[in-house]
Amino acid sequence: MRELLWLIPALPCAGFFILTLAGARLSHRGVALIGAGSVGLAALLSALVGLAFITAPPSSYAYVQTLWTWLEVSGLQPGIAFHLDPLALVMITVITAVGFLIHLYAVTYMGEEEGYGRFFAYMNLFVGAMLTLVLADNLLLLYLGWEGVGLCSYLLIGFWYRDPVSGYAARKAFVVTRVGDVALALGILLLATQVGTLHIQDLLRETARQWPDGSPLATLAAFLILGGALGKSAQLPLQTWLPDAMAGPVPVSALIHAATMVTAGVYLIARLQGLFTLAPAAQGAVAAIGAATLLLAGCSALVQRDIKRILAYSTISQIGYMFLALGVGAWSAAIFHFLTHAFFKALLFLGAGAVMLGLNHERDIYRMGGLRTRLPLTFWTFLVGAASLSAFPLVTAGFYSKEFILAQAWQSGGPWLWAAGIAGAFLTSLYAFRMVFLVFCGPAKGDVSLAPSLCRDIPLLVLALLAIVSGFLETPRTLGGLSLLTDFLRTGGPASLPELSLEVRLQLIASLASLAGIYTAYLFFRKRPRLAEEPQSAVVRLLHRFWFSGWGFDWLYHALLVQPFLWLAKINRDDFLDLIYRATAWCAAASHRALSRTQTGQVRWYAAVIAGGTVALVALAVFL
């Protein structure tokens, strides 16, 4: 069964090619069958390959499938080759399973949209590129998938290309992530020239052999790789593209935030963790950036009105938790949170899409309300997603994955990183249940019209179930001590754990932070909403605007980068090179005007020109 590994990325790519060539001639049913069906088959195949891998693991606990040699230059021989190990298996299982549920949801959600076939073609290519990225055996193939994911995000964010807002958001995502992509490309070139290989496993062995801890080359390479991860995963300071990316359709947002794109940076650092252990400065920067990002994004999420932008800032914050875990060496905890986050974040986006459909695409949470009884299925599934996002104790997957990160942050990162995680947990519960209380509770503020649909309801139910049960893959010692995921990833267990009594206290504090956030949201947005609506001081209003604007990063980049570039372009518009092209255009226009005067419509002049031309040709033939 492992020999069919290549089909997992090939199936969505095949769906893309079919829909690109024949999508305009297919019915909606045919487009949906190919678009969702190709990803569904990839999910089924991922499960079968995973079952075969678990029941009969290869000798090295990794399987490499080389299809052909791609390039052969100066001793480098990167191939079209796939590497399957526990990390890759977890990634492809989540990508295909969640991707299929999102595709199924999109069958109904996008049913009335123009460009139905084009949408599913882009979505298929998105999944295929992400699968290529995580299965790549070498950095060059990984970079191909990396760029494919970036291209697809541009196409899907700007799917409604006639809307200037969508076009701007797509360009912004492409340009901002391009900064990180350049850093990643430089890092790959540095590793190729200094280590002499692009095969990931060989590269990790050689860097450990050739470079000592703290080596300048290892540090430089790790920081360049980190730059690429920051762009794709929307971490400080390259996080500004993600909130604006909400201009795309809801299924696109769910796919970007849950299973593709923003998790690519987390995977990249986890895959190259051996390199980062050689560069303590870079690994420390990963933890610090993650801690800062989760706090800044949590504050911004707290003051947004657009339900999708709240979830966008939430994603930035939760990816920050994953970076925090990676930075303290707990990469199995980061992958565990990636898994649970994929389920509850996809659930929240799809639930938000159902709310928007029912309210004629309204996105302002202050214009919603009373939907608990009008959309009961959406309410209960959204509540499960919000509770898991908030790490509601004991019963949600988010509690177990976040607790795992916080315990490791205390033990390996110190009290400041742990405190940042606790503060982020409080903020997360506060903004998550602010959404719940404003959207689903209180008086109704509009008519609701949402026809039943199995394609919409089944993904919500399945994701709600996964947002609960997936947490029991890894439980703390005080709650059973299961370590199924850690054992499968073969990390040898966490590097260190707090002593049992301390672990209990840390869990209680984390649980209290989550419950305190929920109660505060209940107090301000449900029980006594006037407390949140009463006139605020000038300082509070200023802070609200500052957080609402994303801490002013867009303004800062516009002032420091965009405006100076436009100014230079303006004063340099008449440079020497421009004069050459303008002279060429002027000569072409002048020649056109001169030749157009010969078109008089008088036959005698045409005959004279023909005769003169004939004489000239004869003279040339005779004398030359």
- SS3 sequence of 483-542: EHHHHHHCCCCCCCCCCHHHHHHHHHHHHHHHHHHHHHHHHHHHHCCHHHHCCCCHHHHH
Helices and strands (H, E) in the chain, number of each type: 28, 2
Question: Does position 495 have pLDDT exceeding 60, yes or no?
Answer: no
Q: Which residue has the higher pLDDT, 445 or 197?
A: 197
Position 256 scores a pLDDT of 92
Phi, psi angle pair for 73, to nearest 5°: -140, 120
Residue 538 C-alpha from the chain's centroid: 36
Mean pLDDT throughout 91-108?
95
Question: Does position 173 have pLDDT exceeding 90, yes or no?
Answer: yes
Question: Does position 535 have pLDDT exceeding 70, yes or no?
Answer: no
Q: Length of the chain in residues, anyone?
A: 624
Instruction: Using pLDDT thresholds of 50, 70 and 90, give the confidence band for residue 493.
Output: very low
Position 582 scores a pLDDT of 82
Contacts of 229 (CB under 8 A, 6+ apart): 180, 184, 235, 264, 265, 266, 268, 269
Identify which of 241-245, 257-261, 501-505 has the greatest average pLDDT.
Answer: 241-245
Instruction: Using pLDDT thresholds of 50, 70 and 90, give the confidence band for residue 530.
Output: low
> Is residue 422 within 8 Å of residue 406, measured between CB atoms?
yes
How far is residue 378's CA from residue 351's CA, in Å, rounded to a whole number?
6
Phi, psi angle pair for 446, to nearest 5°: 175, 165
Mean pLDDT throughout 284-291?
96
79 pairs with which residues across the strands?
69
Cβ neighbourhood burial of 28 (10 Å; 0-12, 13-18, 19+):
middle
* Residues above pLDDT 70, as percent of the chain: 97
How far is residue 7's CA from residue 428's CA, in Å, rounded to a whole number?
39
Mean pLDDT throughout 581-590?
88
> In 549-602, which residue ranges form alpha helices assigned H by DSSP?
553-557, 563-571, 576-596
Contacts of 605 (CB under 8 A, 6+ apart): 598
68 pairs with which residues across the strands?
80
pLDDT, one tens digit per residue, over 2-39 is: 889 999 999 999 999 999 998 788 898 999 999 999 99
Position 182 scores a pLDDT of 96
- Torsion angle defined by CA atoms of residues 389, 390, 394 and 399, in that order, rounded to the nearest 10 degrees: 60
pTM of this structure: 0.90
Position 531 scores a pLDDT of 59
Identify which of 130-139, 408-417, 559-568, 570-579 has the greatest average pLDDT.
Answer: 130-139
pLDDT, one tens digit per residue, over 325-358 is: 999 989 999 999 999 999 999 999 999 999 999 8
pLDDT, one tens digit per residue, over 400-419 is: 999 999 999 998 888 999 99
Position 533 scores a pLDDT of 60
* Cis peptide upstream of residue 237 (ω within 30 degrees of 0): yes
